[in-house]
Amino acid sequence: MNKKLSCNIDMKIEKRNEPKAKIQLICGDAFRIETAPYLSKLHTVCIAVAKRGSFKTTAISNLLRMYKETGTMDRILILSPTFHSNIKILEQLEIKPDDIFDDIDDVSVVDRVKAICDEERDAFLRWKKMKANYDRVMKQIDMGAYPLNGDYDDHLMEFYDPSTNCFRMPEPRYKCYLQNRPPVIGWILDDILGGKICNSRSTLALTQKHRHQSPTYDGGAVGIVAPYIETVAEVKALIGAVKLRPFKGDKLEKILQALNPSQGPESLYETVKSIHGQAVADFMKQKNGNTLLFINIESQKAIDNMDDLVGLPGVDGVFIGPADLSVQLGVPRQWENPLLLDTIASIIERTRSLKKHIGCHWGFVNAKKNQVK
């Protein structure tokens, strides 16, 4: 039996219109998170492999920032012995100190990450239950079950906010609650080679079963950033490996030979259709269509060939590394040099004219935002 509370103060009821969730049902009771067209479908594992100083951390951080800005990632955890020094990245990603782990020999970190996933899931389920109770109470108020002056029971007083003298639904911890989904958690593992956690079975299991740590969503695609690309042959080889798996041999070569920049950015699988038929094209698009392919433009030869390289269907965009580019231009790390600034501006403009995505080391662009748009 509910305990009655006698209340003589003047209260008002505040009802809120919550936005409707945009969730697409697939594969039984699983959900797909709607992501921007230039981002991989979640959940996903992304591995950055490149030489030291080639902005791997920056590239991954920018990817996570785009997920956060588009509302498809809600919390980020970091395992890295060096990440504390990346103050600007931490600020931009809004990472809390408690979400940074720096001991790469502590294999128990994996269990703590799992615990965080469980806590976030449980918090969402509690909020969801509370919202259902709130909606029920508000409906009863509309039907006259609760007079606006008189006695109120525990179900109603649960939503009373004394600071505003209103009944209201508690604010959700994340905006994703309003989309009827628990938070998506990203985990960065940076500079962990040599640590015990790198070879831990727990780490391996988490990378294999990551999407099962919380209520599951369909997804999974890997984005590739290829450094120091200069020739059409190199780009076509990448398109074959990234966008046209599992084609090999003559069948693959026939498609690659048919590709040219004049076909337009969306024509890759139309080319597959014209050569191998609709069924094969549909299969290829479903299997590889969400995989991103970015190429680095880092030399004068690549700049001279940009239209032929970037214009090929299957290339999603360009990433600029100002440090390597400055060396190739003969002005190493001369950040104020007009040659470097004009070259970067030209790469950005030409990439956009080809209707492809463009990225650049964010610290450089932030510092030169008045010179490079």
> How far apart, in whole angstroms, are the C-alpha atoms of residue 153 and residue 361?
57
How many structural domains comprise the chain? 2
Asked if 67 contacts 76 with a C-beta cutoff of 8 angstroms, the reply is: no
Closest C-alpha among 54, 78, 65 to residue 192 = 78
Q: Specify the long-range contacts of residues 272-281, CB closer than 8 Å, at least 24 apart.
A: 272/244, 276/251
Residue 171 DSSP symbol: P
Reported pTM: 0.47
104 exposure class (CB count in 10 Å sphere: 0-12, 13-18, 19+): buried
Asked if 149 contacts 10 with a C-beta cutoff of 8 angstroms, the reply is: yes
Residues 307 and 336 in one domain: yes
Residues 287 and 340 in one domain: yes
Residues 51 and 143 in one domain: yes
Q: What is the dihedral of CA 263, 269, 274, 276, to 10 degrees?
A: 150
Residues 95 and 54 in one domain: yes
Tokens of 108: 């128990």
> How far apart, in whole angstroms, are the C-alpha atoms of residue 74 and residue 176?
8
Residues 69 and 128 in one domain: yes
- Asked whether residue 11 is assigned to any structural domain, the reply reads no
Residues 29 and 165 in one domain: yes
pLDDT of residue 303: 93
What amino acid is encoded at 249 in this protein? Answer: G
> How far apart, in whole angstroms, are the C-alpha atoms of residue 319 and residue 112?
34
Burial 124-139 (b: 16+ CB within 10 A, else e): beebeeebeebeebbe
Residues 189 and 269 in one domain: no
Of 172, 195, 222, the last residue of a domain is 222
Tokens of 106: 């502590």
- Asked whether residue 62 is assigned to any structural domain, the reply reads yes
Of 222, 244, 267, the last residue of a domain is 222
Tokens of 6: 């006698």
Strands of the sheet with 317-320, listed across from one edge: 224-226, 293-296, 317-320, 357-360
The set of residues, in sequence order, having a beta carbon less than 8 Å from that of 270 and lying 6+ positions away, is 263, 281
258 exposure class (CB count in 10 Å sphere: 0-12, 13-18, 19+): middle
> How far apart, in whole angstroms, are the C-alpha atoms of residue 320 and residue 182?
35
Find the CATH number of the domain harbouring 259.
3.20.20.60
Residues 113 and 43 in one domain: yes
**Which residues of the chain are modeled with pLDDT < 70?**
1-33, 38, 40, 43-44, 145-156, 201-202, 204-222, 265, 361-373
pLDDT of residue 33: 65
Residue pLDDT, tens place only, 234-270: 999 899 888 888 888 888 999 999 998 888 767 899 9
**Up-side HSE of residue 287: CA atoms within 13 Å toward CB?**
14
Tokens of 36: 């921007």
- Asked whether residue 41 is assigned to any structural domain, the reply reads yes
Residues 65 and 156 in one domain: yes
- Asked whether residue 10 is assigned to any structural domain, the reply reads no
- Asked whether residue 330 is assigned to any structural domain, the reply reads yes
Residues 179 and 80 in one domain: yes
Residues 70 and 201 in one domain: yes
- Please calculate the CA angle 105-108-109 and round it to the nearest 5 degrees: 80
Which residues span the domain enclosing 145? 17-222
Of 222, 240, 273, the last residue of a domain is 222
pLDDT of residue 208: 58
- Asked whether residue 152 is assigned to any structural domain, the reply reads yes
> How far apart, in whole angstroms, are the C-alpha atoms of residue 301 and residue 367?
27
- Asked whether residue 6 is assigned to any structural domain, the reply reads no
Residue 86 DSSP symbol: -
Residues 122 and 242 in one domain: no
